[in-house]
């Protein structure tokens, strides 16, 4: 697992590890989304795909710029644009705004429930990838298992999240029929809210 403030360099390009795995997670969710829609035999998947791409750009943009929205003084140093991203409620706001955009488009275009099912799976997959590879330090724990920093042991929140998201995905595929309208979408988003609520005391 990588520290969130580590960077990855390839030639002249440098990117934070957190942003790198966020992009990888979004790419995998995007591939799943398109594959799911194609299997559902939805002829309008190209149109939906275009709006998903815009939604992803919105989510990444808000997540990356969130620290500067909360604290504009960070913009005084250009190097901060490389290292800072995310923060309190950044993930919730970025995902929420992008989903709101997608939802408005779906109402206008009258898309099918399979579109929402595939999008919901995509969201959980991207959350799983980010939490699986990037460390997230929680509260100090009295136990010896966790992330050690400055002589203290912290709850490995990202490990809790990654396992929870994986169980959520598998449970949805096994327990919820794809023929039930919006059932998988509702199950997954209730699951995300439940996981967030369950882990809040340790974060």
pLDDT for residue 12: 60
What's the confidence (pLDDT) of residue 92?
76
**Tokens 């993930």 appear where?**
91
d(CA 58, CA 78): 22
* Domain contains 1: no
3 state SS of 155: strand
Domain membership flag for residue 47: yes
Tokens of 43: 């002829």
Domain contains 90: yes
Range of the domain at 16: 7-202
pLDDT score for 3 = 74
Number of H helices, E strands in the chain: 7, 5
**Helix H or strand E segment including 181:** none
Q: How many domains does the chain have?
A: 1
SS3 annotation, 86-151: CCCCHHHHHHHHHHHHHHHHHHHHCCCHHHHHHHHHHHHHHHHHHHHHECCEEEECCCCCCEEECC
What contacts 37, CB < 8 A, 6 or more positions away? 45, 48, 49, 114, 115, 118
Answer whether residue 183 is part of any domain: yes
All residue ranges of the chain with pLDDT < 70 are: 4-5, 10-13, 40-45, 79, 82-83
Contact, 136 vs 95, CB < 8 A?
A: no
Name the residue with tokens 């939490």.
131
Residue 2 belongs to a domain: no
Q: What is the CA radius of gyration of the chain?
A: 18
């Amino acid at each position: 697992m990588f520290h969130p403030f580590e960077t990855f360099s390839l030639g002249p390009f440098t990117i934070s590890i957190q942003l790198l795995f966020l992009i990888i997670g979004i790419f995998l969710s995007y591939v799943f989304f398109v594959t799911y829609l194609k299997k559902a035999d939805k002829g309008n998947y190209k149109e939906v795909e275009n709006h998903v791409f815009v939604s992803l750009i919105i989510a990444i943009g808000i997540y990356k710029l969130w620290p500067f929205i909360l604290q504009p003084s960070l913009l005084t140093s250009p190097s901060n644009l490389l290292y800072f991203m995310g923060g309190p409620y950044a993930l919730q706001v970025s995902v929420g705004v992008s989903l709101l955009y997608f939802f408005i488009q779906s109402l206008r275009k009258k898309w099918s429930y399979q579109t929402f099912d595939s999008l919901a799976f995509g969201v959980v997959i991207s959350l799983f990838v980010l939490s699986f590879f990037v460390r997230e330090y929680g509260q100090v724990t009295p136990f010896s298992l966790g992330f050690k920093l400055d002589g203290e042991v912290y709850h490995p929140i990202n490990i809790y999240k990654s396992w929870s998201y994986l169980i959520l995905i598998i449970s949805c595929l096994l327990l919820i029929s794809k023929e039930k309208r919006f059932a998988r979408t509702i199950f997954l988003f209730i699951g995300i809210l439940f996981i967030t609520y369950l882990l809040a005391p340790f974060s």
